[in-house]
Chains A and B, each alone.
Chain A
Amino acid sequence: MGGFEAKRCRVTVDSLTVEVEGVTVLRDVGFEVDGGLTAFIGPNGAGKTTLLRVLAGILGHRGVVRVCGLDVRSARRISSYVPSFLQVDPYARVEDVIVAYLQGVSNPRSPEDVLESFGLARLRGRRFNSLSGGEHKLVLIAGALARNPSILLLDEPFSHLDLANQAKLARLLKAVSENLTVIAAVHEPFFASLADRVGILNSGRLIAFGSPGEVLRKNVLEEVYGVELEEVSLGSKTLVLPSL
């Protein structure tokens, strides 16, 4: 889907600290990934979005952050960032949003071709603001991927998606992460469990980083979220859900 070149790249973060208006939002964060799908999970305000914004080159920071061997500002030409929410001009069509994402790309694909290749041809000509929250996400991710980036940064990609679109997006991210580096901030432990690596952020600190099996442990999540959880087996998968 999408026709990507193999461009995965290494991301190195060391001693990353971010202060926003005098408040330390990220403190001494360090990790390294080399391609694949990496998910960051943690409570609201843990620093997930801040980390993505640093990697996207739009937030000042202290410490070392290298993306594909480049400093984050230089790496903006080879990265794509999708925020958790985006409001655009009320008259913007879906194609206009794709065209906006393709700015600065040499020989960009046509927006119609992009929509077609992501199975979104049915949205052609629609006003972006008239789409559902899930369709918003899919269009933005299609635009971001159409830039043919080396690294894709996604903030809450699964929010607002129905089950069918969650499955579609999960398959898409698994597929594209074989060829490029994907880093996503997610809320659901289930989606984090699909990643190659998972990081848990809590109060600006990276308290765990490793494979999903190592990191997504019930007792760790209970401590981080401050709620009682239970593990539910569903076929070969184990889901971690709040205990009600």
Chain B
Amino acid sequence: MLTFSYIMLFTLSLSIGVYKFYTPLEIIAILEGYGSPVDRAVVELRLWRGIAATTVGIGLAVSGLVIQRLLGNPLADPYILGVSPGAALSYVIALLLGLWGPLKLLLTFLGGLLAYSIVVLVASMVGLTSLALIIAGVALSYVFSSLSIIAITMLGPELGLALSWLFGTVAYTYKDTSLTLTIVVLASLAFIAFNRGALTALLLGEEVSRALGVNVRVLRLSMTATVALTVSLITAVSGPIGFIGLTAPWIARILVGADFTRLLLITTITGAMLGLGSDVIVRLVGGGRELPLTAITALLGAPLLFYLAVRGRHVGGL
């Protein structure tokens, strides 16, 4: 059902856009080489854009799931815990410094990792509780976002494009970027799947997991680095995007419970749908202009989060 819905959504993603609407039959014909060069270019752009939106959704969703399991905190996600805003700030600094591509990505990765470490460090000063993590994460994320806004105004001619990126977009994601992003997210997904046994055991908490033979410290370090790398690369491509990392794992939880293997599978699908669905909506409701991706993910995610928080009271609380 979810897979079928995703295929429908992807078809819609190829059909709609500011330029022109294509029917599914027209899309098939264009993909087979018929149609004008402009039509072929537009569909190809939408194809890579759809893949990028999907990959962004999967990467953020699975990263959220892993962070929630690592911290035993269902309210954690890469945006709330500072990874995305920290990576965004580093990316803007790298742009200001005029750094070369790979160096720019390295700085973005280190920024995301450092921001997350600062949030955990600050929260641990008051006991590393769920509430402490959220408060520290939200507060520091605001700080990183504010600094990003200040830094971005110093950019000059690139300001318009950078502002569009800061609010989240995959509109400028072409073949090479989309392929790189897909490879990194798939590699990250494979590494997380490889560690699914340890992440499954972590449901029982750190103490029991260690008693079952899980090296929790190594797991935390390797998974944190994986999440920071994935989210930082996503941020560099699409800007800091919130709520997908929080909402997609929650929808999966409601559907299949808390077994990590099943959660990973369903979160991958729900993340793909939220990423692609949000990108379709920004093109549908903009009236000829595209809306920022973050606005849509928040509009989709916030009511769902509220609903889940209320519902959570009846299943043992958040």
- Are A101 and B259 in contact, with the CB atoms below 8 A? no
| A90 surroundings in chain B (CB, below 8 A) | 74, 312, 315-318
Tier of interface size on chain B = 20 to 34
Interface membership of B254, Cβ < 8 A: yes
Q: With A and B bound together, what is the CA distance between A88 and B315 in angstroms? A: 11
Within 8 A of B (CB), among A61-113: 76-77, 79-83, 86-93, 95-97, 99-101, 103-104
| B316 surroundings in chain A (CB, below 8 A) | 90, 127, 129-130
- Are A89 and B212 in contact, with the CB atoms below 8 A? no
User: Nearest 8 CB-CB pairs, A to B?
Assistant: A129-B316, A92-B258, A81-B211, A93-B257, A103-B201, A89-B258, A91-B253, A56-B211
User: Given that A86-B204, A129-B316 are known contacts, is A77 also in contact with B213, CB under 8 Å in the complex?
Assistant: yes
Interface membership of B207, Cβ < 8 A: yes
Give 20 A-B contacts (CB < 8 Å), ordered by A residue: A58-B211, A76-B211, A76-B213, A81-B207, A83-B205, A83-B207, A88-B203, A89-B72, A91-B254, A93-B259, A96-B257, A96-B258, A100-B202, A100-B259, A101-B208, A101-B212, A104-B212, A127-B315, A129-B316, A130-B315
Interface membership of A57, Cβ < 8 A: yes
Interface membership of B145, Cβ < 8 A: no
| B175 surroundings in chain A (CB, below 8 A) | none
| B317 surroundings in chain A (CB, below 8 A) | 90, 129
Interface membership of B197, Cβ < 8 A: yes
Chain B contacts to A: CB under 8 angstroms: 72, 74, 197-198, 200-205, 207-208, 210-214, 253-254, 257-259, 312, 315-318
- Are A92 and B208 in contact, with the CB atoms below 8 A? no
Question: Which single member of A56, A77, A89, A127 contacts B203 (CB below 8 Å)?
Answer: A89
Chain A nearest CB: distance from B76 CB in Å? 12
Most chain A CB within 10 A, of B197, B213, B258, B318, is at: B258
| A96 surroundings in chain B (CB, below 8 A) | 203, 257-259
The chain A residue sitting closest to B202, CB to CB, is A100
Chain A contacts to B: CB under 8 angstroms: 53, 56-58, 76-77, 79-83, 86-93, 95-97, 99-101, 103-104, 127, 129-130, 153
The chain B residue sitting closest to A56, CB to CB, is B211
Question: Which single member of A93, A100, A127 contacts B200 (CB below 8 Å)?
Answer: A100
Chain A nearest CB: distance from B270 CB in Å? 14
Q: With A and B bound together, what is the CA distance between A129 and B315 in angstroms? A: 7
Most chain A CB within 10 A, of B208, B213, B253, is at: B208
Most chain A CB within 10 A, of B197, B204, B315, is at: B204
The chain A residue sitting closest to B201, CB to CB, is A103
Chain B nearest CB: distance from A165 CB in Å? 21
Question: Which single member of A53, A89, A100 contacts B201 (CB below 8 Å)?
Answer: A100
Q: With A and B bound together, what is the CA distance between A26 and B64 in angstroms? A: 40
- Are B201 and A86 in contact, with the CB atoms below 8 A? no
- Are A86 and B200 in contact, with the CB atoms below 8 A? no
- Are A58 and B207 in contact, with the CB atoms below 8 A? yes
Chain B nearest CB: distance from A89 CB in Å? 4
